[in-house]
Copies of this chain bind each other. A is one copy, B any other.
Amino acid sequence: MGRPRKFDEHQVLRSATETFWTSGFAGTSLGDLMRATSLGKGSLYGAFGDKQALFQRVLDGYCANVTAGLREHLSGPDSSAASRLRALFDAAVAAGASPGPQRACLLAKSTAELAASNAEVAVRARQTFTTFADLLQAEVESAQAAGDVPGDRDPRRTAHHLLAVLRGMEALTEAGMDESVLRDAADTALEAAGLDQA
């Protein structure tokens, strides 16, 4: 019973995500959020709590999405684990190649802004990156089993290296570095993992 909500929670969270993504946590005001979501303050506070709590919801949702996306990609229809890994790095290069101002990964931005002062954000970041590493490791192992990666490679170590390169490419993308830089980083990383280029 009671009056039903007029808004769709998912849609509101999507709008809020967009806003925080563009302006960061400190750079986003409640007014911005009200405009983006078309909700009054009362509804916003009633449904999500204060700005901090809403941000946490947004960040958690974003991390879940990104993790799910990566998991889906890595178990995708692509023929081999090796080609899926290559596709992943190709996508990272392509993301940085598009012209215009770049909007980096929300998780990267949030970690840079808040991880040092907000334990919850730090935990979420750490956990998400750890999951990334695990997924990459599984993929390396799979490629190894298929004979596309030499057996002498330590999958965990390799995954950690690939993760670092991916995050580094993200950072270089933020700075608007040339595509060639990203290309070089991606190719060298894949080579180091033992994956020959097509």
Contact = CB atoms under 8 A, between A and B. Distances in A.
Interface stretch (A11-19, A51-59, A75-83, A184-192): A184-192
B157 A184 contact: yes
Given A111-B175, A115-B174, A177-B130, A163 B168 contact: yes
A188 B169 CA distance: 16
A188 B192 contact: yes
A27 B113 contact: yes
Interface residues of A, dominant DSSP: helix
Contacts of A102: 115-116
A180 to B, nearest CB: 8
A86 interface: no
Interface in A98-150: 101-104, 108-109, 111-113, 115-117, 122, 125-126, 129-130, 133
Contacts of A170: 168, 171
Contact of A160 (B158, B175, B184, B191): B184
Interface of A: 22-24, 26-27, 101-104, 108-109, 111-113, 115-117, 122, 125-126, 129-130, 133, 154, 156-158, 160-161, 163-172, 174-177, 180-182, 184-185, 187-189, 191-192
14 contacts: A24-B113, A26-B27, A111-B175, A112-B171, A112-B174, A122-B176, A154-B184, A160-B188, A161-B192, A164-B164, A164-B185, A165-B185, A167-B168, A188-B192
